[in-house]
Amino acid sequence: MNELFGTLPDGTPVHRWTLERAGVRVRVLSYGGIVQSLEAPDRDGNTAGVVLGFADLDGYLRHPEPYFGALVGRYANRIAGGRFALDGRTYTLARNNGPNSLHGGERGFDKRVWDVEPVGDGGHGVRLSLISPDGEEGYPGRVEISVTYTLEERGALRIDYEAVTDAPTVLNPTNHSYFNLGGSGHAGGHELRVAASRITPVDAGLIPAGEPEDVTGTRFDFRRARKVGSGYDHNFCLDKGVTAAAEEVVELYDPASGRALTVATTEPGLQVYTADQLGEPFAPGDGIALETQHFPDSPNRPDFPGTVLRPGEVFRSRTVYGFSAR
């Protein structure tokens, strides 16, 4: 189902698409590719919203920085100093996070209006697409990207990314939904399991500093499920690395409601953000972002998995969010 959701200050209409299957309902906006709402049943069959979002477009325009539910890029996470070198040339990016570039800059994918079309049978999928012109936010190359949201047979939300470029560039998109499986309140009591034996330690600007470190004996060891708590905005180096098929690497569980979320991905990293900086109308810790992506500052770290996309190549990535209750 497609409906008008609102109008931007310049008069551009924003539409909302609704997908429903197996008791799960997802609403996606053409503005920012935002997952505006996602409803799933608890152990008693009661349905509630499990991602943070706003009821109207004005909410997203007034509170852009938390990136609620948005597609972010060209480069999710941070690039140190707002610059990187590629093939002997240095590119300067928009610096929108202190001295660094974050989530694609001042006007990344999250602030663009995407073209949207239904895909598949039964109204279970939508494909969003846009063109990022050469030089946008300082990035080289004209990039054509599409992102497809699909509700699978059992109600899992699959996100498929595909992109091409006409010049060498870097690319690292993700979805920035904040999950609260209880439907409201503080999410710090959720239990988290992450298949990651290392994290990238960070400096004060949340830029990776030094080599990845073992999580054994630290607060970053979630290889066995335990309460999340607070104080996390870190990249976990998934043990599986980059994979051709999406592999399950995460489970988030809310003991109160019985809702469980699994995350499978082709990506090598997971940014766990406990949203400690959220402000009104939400409170710190009201959601947990689980951003599947490449590592922060990879364009400046040849020792990290590469994020360079070249002409003739096709960028592909998949993440699947599965929902159940117990």
Q: What is the pLDDT of residues 154-170, one digit of tens each?
A: 999 999 999 999 999 99
Structure tokens that stand for 62 in this block: 């007034």
> Per-residue confidence at 325, pLDDT binned at 50, 70, 90?
very high
- Cα torsion at 55, 61, 64, 70 (round to 10°)? 60
Cis status, amide bond into 158, omega within 30 of 0? no
Nearest-angstrom CA–CA distance, 220 and 271: 12
Checking if the pLDDT of 1 tops 90, the result is no
Checking if the pLDDT of 121 tops 90, the result is no
- Arithmetic mean of pLDDT, 223-242: 98
Write out the H or E segment, with its range, that includes residue 58. helix 57-62
pLDDT of 3 = 97
Structure tokens that stand for 247 in this block: 């592999």
Helices and strands counted in the chain (H then E): 1, 28
Q: Are 294 and 269 in contact (CB under 8 A)?
A: yes
pLDDT of 122 = 80
CATH no. of 2-325: 2.70.98.10
Checking if the pLDDT of 206 tops 80, the result is yes
- Arithmetic mean of pLDDT, 257-261: 98
pLDDT of 260 = 98
Checking if the pLDDT of 241 tops 90, the result is yes
Residue ranges per domain, the chain? 2-325
Nearest-angstrom CA–CA distance, 289 and 292: 10
Mean per-residue pLDDT over the chain, rounded: 97
- Arithmetic mean of pLDDT, 194-204: 97
CA 259 to chain centre: 20
**Nearest CA to 108 among 206, 188, 176, 26?**
176
pLDDT of 106 = 96
Q: Which residues are catalytic?
A: 176, 291
> Per-residue confidence at 94, pLDDT binned at 50, 70, 90?
very high
pLDDT of 299 = 98
DSSP assignment letter at 305: P
> Per-residue confidence at 279, pLDDT binned at 50, 70, 90?
confident
Nearest-angstrom CA–CA distance, 161 and 159: 7
- Arithmetic mean of pLDDT, 99-122: 95
The single residue listed with the structure tokens 């960028």 is: 315
Checking if the pLDDT of 123 tops 90, the result is no
**Nearest CA to 76 among 308, 257, 253, 296?**
296
